[in-house]
Amino acid sequence: MKITVVGAGAVGATCADNIARKELAEELILLDIREGFAEGKAIDIMQTSAILGFDTKVKGVTNDYAATSNSEVVVITSGLPRKPGMTREELIGTNAGIVKSVTESILKYSPNTIIIVVSNPMDTMNYLTLKTSGLPKNRILGMGGALDSSRFKYYLSQELGCSPADLNAVVIGGHGDTTMIPLIKHATWNSVPVTEFLSQEQQDKIVAATMVGGATLTKLIGTSAWYAPGAGTMAMVESIVRDEKKLISCGVALDGEYGQQDISLVVPVVLGKGGWEKIVNFKLSDAEQEQFDKSADAVRNMNQVLYD
Ligand code: NAI
């Protein structure tokens, strides 16, 4: 098994580190445009292997796509991250060019790979990759829901005083501060609806905190987060390469599901060796469906920028 991570920055290197520790691949290529950067990060990760005891071979390269040939999964994290006060949407101009050219270069050497897009604004970057690659739609996935759902569980756990791991909670819609939809009415704690334990005020607070979860960290750290994004991406890679069939919220092309088409949005999917294998249709209330449609409108407007 060979995996490539493009972009050796904060998210890419953390994702590579997680993949190596879990031994999800025999060979992991870390690629960056910055001379020597990926090489350095790869050597640093490899120098933890004697301590942590993993056997994945991590190799860093500077823009050498031949080294990525025959990768079964490729993660794209290349692009600018946001600074405090910026929205993910403001990154579109620069990142669209980067994501498009990276996708084209990857496909020259791994024409049948599965691509996970992390670069922001993720919904639009994933849609762009779908259109650029010509790959079957099941092989293109956006990472955003894995992260946002984990943040949602974190905020729920803070209020409930329980472990995030005991919660089932899902975020759908877009991967933006105003477009994501934490489905609090569907969230459970050991199979009991969390709404049984939380006042309306607490529920509203949790949903609001989840939606600006990324911006809160950007303000604290000075740039966007990397531990949870790296872990969320690794979880997607793991479910694919181990064919685990995990149910994870991912950005995927919709073709009538949730009443939308010709768009990439975050919905729960079953992830296995073919990429996403099934879209799971939550039964949304009228209010939730209305929110989903509004998010779709906002993402569709953003996608239009690609053609302007
Ligand atoms: P970073 O700045 O630490 O790393 C980005 C890396 O991409 C840099 O090392 C840069 O040299 C490299 N790069 C730029 N152009 C390239 C090209 N053409 N080819 C190869 N490498 C190239 O940024 P960070 O924090 O790792 O974030 C990466 C992206 O992921 C950003 O767009 C950020 O907004 C996004 N992100 C998405 C999340 C999600 O949930 N979808 C969560 C966190 C970040």
| Residue 230 to residue 142: CA distance in whole angstroms | 13
Contact criterion met (CB below 8 Å) for 130 and 140: yes
The string of pLDDT tens digits covering residues 197-255 is 999 999 999 999 999 999 999 999 999 999 999 999 999 999 999 999 999 999 999 99
**How far, in Å, CA of 173 to CA of 222, rounded?**
26
Residue 157, by phi and psi: left (phi above 0), alpha (psi -120 to 50) or beta? alpha
ipTM for the complex shown: 0.99
**Residues having CB within 6 Å of any atom of ligand 1:** 6-12, 32-34, 37, 77-82, 91, 95, 98, 102, 118-120, 122, 143-144, 147, 175, 224-226, 229
Q: Label residue 307 by pLDDT band (50, 70, 90).
A: confident
Atom number of ligand 1 nearest to Cα 37: 9
With a cut of 90, say whether residue 260 has pLDDT above it.
yes
Q: What is the pLDDT of residue 86?
A: 84
Q: Give the mean pLDDT of 260-286.
A: 97
100 C-alpha to ligand 1 centroid (Å): 14
Q: Alpha-carbon distance 41 to 59, whole Å?
A: 9
Of the residues 4, 30, 33, 115, which should be mutated to test ligand 1's pocket, given the most ligand atoms within 8 Å of the CB? Answer: 33
H helix and E strand count, the chain: 10, 14
Residue 87 has pLDDT above 90, yes or no: no
What is the enclosing helix (H) or strand (E) of 250? strand 246-255
pLDDT by residue (tens digit) across 151-208? 999 999 999 999 999 999 999 999 999 999 999 999 999 999 999 999 999 999 999 9
Q: How many CA atoms lie within 13 A of 273 on its CB side?
A: 3
Question: Using CA positions, which residue lies closest to atom 38 of ligand 1?
Answer: 118
Ligand 1 atom closest to the CA of 98, numbered from 1: 18
CA of 194 to the centre of ligand 1 (A): 35
Q: Which atom of ligand 1 is nearest to the CA of 225?
A: 43
The average pLDDT across 4-27 equals: 98
- Minimal-distance CA residue to ligand 1 atom 33: 81
Q: What pTM value is reported for the model?
A: 0.98
Q: pLDDT tens digit string along 95-122?
A: 999 999 999 999 999 999 999 999 999 9
CA 43 to chain centre: 25
Predicted confidence at residue 160, as pLDDT, reads 98
The pLDDT value given to residue 89 = 82
* 57 confidence band (pLDDT: 50, 70, 90): very high
Which has the higher per-residue pLDDT, 306 or 11?
Answer: 11
